[in-house]
Amino acid sequence: MDPSDGVHDAYTERGDPVYPTGRHLPGLDDVEQQCWDHYVEASTRICTLLQRTLHSAHGLGLSDVRLLALLADAKDGRCRMGTLAHELAEHPSRVTEQTHRLEEQGLLTRSTSDRDRRVVTATISATGRARLGTAMTTYAGIVRQFYLDPLTRGQMTATGDSSRRVSEELRRLR
């Protein structure tokens, strides 16, 4: 492999590429690698805690709470399935399965549009709003304890701004 091809960052004296070991990502310096590792570990741990706690306490996963919250915030509690998939950054078939499961629990209803039969919408039910309300209290408690409380106000706003910037870049990919 040609060292000038830009694929690898390090080469042996013979010109062979040096492949990274462990978690170290090629092209990242030690500080960048450490920041990335901390981000991945923290986000994985808090999402796992949220998932486990929400499921145990309310029978809902984190993605279920996020979907129901989107519906609760939408005009008339209704949203197109495609919009839900986009906002949740999920494949449409995954959202279809999820809404089917939530519909079976009475938390939402799905219906086709009167104007365009190809368009399917989901609408949160009164039961869904009630269940979401209790789940959001649990969710907020975890966010407060494990995300907000360990940070100063400045750190919190810097983290939030950084996450917004990353999210905006990723939204452009869809």
CB 145 within 8 A of CB 124: no
pLDDT of res. 77: 95
Segments making up each domain of the chain, as ranges: 28-159
CB 54 within 8 A of CB 139: yes
Interior/surface letters 35-68, b for 16+ CB within 10 angstroms, e for the rest: eeeeeeeeeeebeeebbebbeeebebbbbbbbbb
- Cα(106)–Cα(116) distance, integer angstroms: 25
Give the whole-number percent of the chain exceeding pLDDT 90: 75
64 Cβ neighbours under 8 A, 6+ residues apart: 54, 98, 102, 107
- Cα(10)–Cα(76) distance, integer angstroms: 56
pLDDT of res. 21: 63
pLDDT of res. 126: 98
Half-sphere exposure of 103 (CA within 13 A, CB side): 12
For the entire predicted model, the pTM comes to: 0.82
Strand partners, 80: 121
- Cα(138)–Cα(151) distance, integer angstroms: 20
pLDDT of res. 93: 95
pLDDT of res. 3: 45
Residues of the chain with pLDDT under 50: 1-8
- Cα(33)–Cα(75) distance, integer angstroms: 42
pLDDT digits (tens, 9 = 90+) for 19-63: 556 678 888 888 998 999 999 999 999 999 999 999 999 999 999
pLDDT of res. 139: 98
- The CATH-assigned architecture of domain 28-159 is Orthogonal Bundle (1.10)
- Cα(49)–Cα(82) distance, integer angstroms: 28
Strand partners, 78: 123
pLDDT of res. 163: 94
